[in-house]
């Protein structure tokens, strides 16, 4: 009797806790956030998104404000760049699995692109480390929305930064620009930076820090952001992820960052003593171009 080949699927460590583990309930929750989201008007040429990555109960509505803008669009692949909340060897991490699993189905990992990326990173002195059975939530939490909205399906390139320094980010961005520019004409790629903002300040202090961060996003200049970060004037756990996506999207033709929504965990929990900040934004080509 011939053995069946079993696919190597990454099991979800957060379905049923960070978001509903039942497909029907998950769709209901996603629709509820999308129905209540009012995204800004931007060009249809969306290059990237900045999204929060807390449990959906806290950051789902904020994410929906930006994600609703891609409803009805088609992307061949989605590159999600996040921090790593666990320690591993290497500058950048990715998944060794064939696909991610959520209650809405499987999302295939684009390993052909990852092999090209690995070669180019290694040539620049950066290590891409493939990991298995990771517990990183900041990639996975974005997937159910994408599965629901991108009905034609997509391939995923998951990338988690161990090194979020300015030098690594600049090199990484240049390599991503080359990778994306080399895809066949007509194929489309969406960039996503997964990041929360300030962590565990009182609401007023969090708002002050976060609004300063949001102001730097609108400037579309990560160099300014890194300067303010060095002075402890801005805060985001995925600082390098945001900078990478901004630099890459700008090099590929994006010209504006439009903030879609901002709020904190206190707006949901009503506990304003220690909050986490969330922002969503849309990176696009100017609608007048």
Give me the pLDDT at residue 227, please. Answer: 86
Give me the pLDDT at residue 286, please. Answer: 80
Going by pLDDT thresholds of 50, 70 and 90, the confidence category of residue 5 is low
Q: Which of 5, 11, 8 is nearest to 101 (CA)?
A: 11
| CA gap 198, 31 in Å, rounded | 28
Q: Say if CB 193 and CB 81 are below 8 A apart.
A: yes
| CA gap 114, 59 in Å, rounded | 29
Q: Which residue has the tokens 């030098």?
A: 167
Q: Which domains does the chain have, with CATH numbers?
A: 45-284 (3.40.830.10)
| CA gap 115, 182 in Å, rounded | 14
| CA gap 275, 247 in Å, rounded | 29
| CA gap 70, 105 in Å, rounded | 20
Residue 2 has pLDDT above 50, yes or no: no
Mean pLDDT of 21-31: 98
208-256 pLDDT, tens digit each: 999 999 999 999 988 888 888 888 888 999 999 999 999 999 999 999 9
Q: Say if CB 102 and CB 256 are below 8 A apart.
A: no
What share of residues in the chain are helix, strand, coil (percent, to 5)? 40, 25, 35
Beta strands in the chain (DSSP E): 9-10, 46-51, 77-83, 92-95, 99-102, 105-108, 128-131, 155-161, 189-194, 199-201, 256-264, 275-284
Give me the pLDDT at residue 158, please. Answer: 98
| CA gap 34, 175 in Å, rounded | 34
Q: Which residue has the tokens 């300040």?
A: 201
How does DSSP classify residue 69? G
127-157 pLDDT, tens digit each: 999 999 999 999 999 999 999 999 999 999 9
Tell me the average pLDDT of the chain. Answer: 94
* Tokens linked to 277: 């900040």
How does DSSP classify residue 11? P
Give me the pLDDT at residue 210, please. Answer: 96
Please tell me whether residue 276 adopts helix, strand or coil conformation.
Answer: strand
β-pair type (199-201, 77-83): unpaired
Mean pLDDT of 55-73: 97
Beta strands in 86-144 (DSSP E): 92-95, 99-102, 105-108, 128-131
Give me the pLDDT at residue 224, please. Answer: 83
This prediction's pTM:
0.95
Going by pLDDT thresholds of 50, 70 and 90, the confidence category of residue 3 is very low
């Amino acid at each position: 009797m011939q053995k069946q080949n079993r696919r190597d699927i990454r099991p979800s460590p957060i379905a049923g806790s960070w978001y509903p583990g039942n497909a029907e309930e998950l769709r209901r929750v996603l629709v509820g956030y999308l129905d209540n989201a009012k995204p800004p008007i931007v060009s249809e040429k969306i290059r990237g998104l900045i999204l929060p990555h807390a449990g959906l109960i806290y950051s789902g509505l904020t994410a929906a404000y930006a994600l609703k803008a891609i409803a009805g669009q088609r992307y061949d692949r989605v590159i999600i760049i996040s921090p790593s909340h666990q320690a591993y060897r290497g500058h950048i991490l990715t998944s060794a699995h064939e696909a991610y699993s959520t209650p809405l189905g499987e999302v295939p990992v684009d390993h052909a692109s990852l092999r090209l990326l690995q070669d180019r990173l290694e040539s620049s002195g950066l290590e891409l480390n493939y990991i298995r059975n990771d517990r990183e939530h900041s990639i996975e939490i974005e997937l159910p929305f994408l599965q629901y909205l991108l009905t034609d399906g997509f391939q995923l390139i998951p990338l988690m930064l161990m090194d979020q320094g300015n030098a690594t980010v600049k090199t990484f961005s240049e390599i991503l620009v080359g990778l994306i520019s080399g895809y066949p004409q007509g194929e489309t790629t969406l960039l996503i930076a997964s990041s929360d903002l300030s962590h565990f300040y009182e609401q007023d202090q969090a708002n002050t820090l976060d609004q300063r961060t949001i102001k730097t996003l609108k400037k579309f200049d990560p160099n300014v952001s890194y300067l303010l970060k060095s002075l402890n004037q801005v805060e985001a756990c995925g600082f390098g992820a945001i900078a990478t996506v901004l630099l890459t999207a700008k090099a590929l033709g994006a010209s504006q960052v439009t903030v879609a929504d901002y709020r904190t965990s206190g707006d949901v929990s009503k506990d304003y003593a220690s909050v986490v900040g969330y922002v969503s934004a849309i990176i696009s080509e100017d609608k007048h171009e």
